[in-house]
Structures are given as C-alpha cells and as structure tokens.
Amino acid sequence: MSYSIKEVAKMMNVAPSTLRYYDQEGLLPNIKRLNGIRVFEDADFKWLRVLNCLKNTNMPIKKIRQYVELAQEGDTTLEERYDLIKEQKQKILKQIEEFQYYLKEIEYKQWYYETAIKAGTEKVLDDLIPDIATLELDKIPKEIKERKEEKRNE
C-alpha cells in the first residue's frame, strides 16, 4: 500500500505542512516521489512510528535529525544510536517522575478548592496554612531539582 501526505498527516495527527517541514528538516529521509509528489509506503511507517515517539516525548527537531543522520550511516553508528535512545528513555522516565510529583501538588490544590467551596470562602484555609514559604519550595524532591539544573546547563 502507498499513502499520500494528507493520509499520513491524518494518521500522525499533524498538518500536511508539518510533514513537509519535517522533510525539509531532514526528518523524512528516503521518501519516494512520483512526479515530485511524496509517496509513503509501508516500510516508511517503521520510521514514522519512531519519529512520532521522539517528537511526542519532546526531542528537539535538531536532535531527531542527528539520529536520522546516524541511521543513514549504517551499522557503524549502532552504539551511538543506542546511547541516544537510552538518553531519551531517561528523559521520559524523569518526565514521568516529575509529573507524578506535580500531580500530587495539584491534587492538594484540588482539595484546597473543595474545602474552600464547602466553606464558601478561602479565608478558612488561608488562616489554617502557615507561611512556611521557603521551606515549601524546598520540599520539592531533590532529584527533581537537580535535573532542572542539568537542564539549565545544557
């Protein structure tokens, strides 16, 4: 089977112009053309699936291109690609952990509003909760803070 850019765009849930942009940026190598028109074939979906994964886990376009370039070079870059994948895996794990932390924060906030709504005012809570200020921010798990620092130093 072969697919038009419109069809593939729909499958990936992006605009056709986005796929053209990706192509321009080197993220869609070896796409067949008929009279200049892109034709996506079954084999292409292996890569589209990976692209979809990397893109949706926030890998920057430039880095995805790097990966593509490595893949083009063949078996000599297997280790490098392995490392890149492992790195991305770590980022995904960190993101999940961080989001799980913020989930708890937001659940606290949810409780806060449930309580305030019952009481008809926030006053009750504001009086209840002390201004432990700095300490509060320090409660953010150390591992998460450290990661952010890494991020800033990139």
Partner DNA sequence: ATAAAAGTTAAAGTAAACTTTATGTCAAGA
Partner DNA sequence: TCTTGACATAAAGTTTACTTTAACTTTTAT
Span of 22-30, 31-39, 83-91 interacting with a second copy by CB under 8 A: 83-91
Bridge partners of residue 3, in order along the sequence? 40
Helices 142-152 and 78-119, packing angle to 10 deg: 120
Long-range contact pairs involving 36-43 (C-beta distance under 8 Å, separation at least 24):
37/4, 38/4, 38/5, 39/2, 39/3, 39/4, 40/2, 40/3, 40/4, 40/5, 40/7, 40/8, 41/1, 41/2, 41/3, 42/1
State the virtual CA torsion across 91, 97, 103, 108 in degrees, nearest 10: -140
Q: Minimum distance between the CB of residue 5 and a second copy, rounded to whole angstroms?
A: 15
Q: Out of DNA, a second copy, none, which partner does residue 61 contact, by CB within 5 to 8 A per kind?
A: DNA
Q: Minimum distance between the CB of residue 14 and DNA, rounded to whole angstroms?
A: 6
Interatomic CA distance for residues 21 and 49, integer angstroms: 17
Span of 19-27, 28-36, 128-136 interacting with a second copy by CB under 8 A: 128-136
Bridge partners of residue 41, in order along the sequence? 2
Options 16, 81, 98, 147; binder of DNA; rule CB under 7 A: 16
Options 1, 13, 34, 135; binder of DNA; rule CB under 7 A: 34
Residues at the interface with DNA (CB under 7 A) = 4-7, 14-18, 20-21, 23-24, 34-38, 55, 60-62
**Interacting residues with a second copy (CB under 8 A):** 1, 3, 11-13, 41-46, 48-50, 52-53, 56-57, 74-75, 78-79, 81-82, 85-86, 88-89, 92-93, 95-96, 98-100, 102-103, 105-107, 109-110, 113-114, 116-117, 120-123, 129, 131-134, 136-138, 140, 145, 148-149, 152
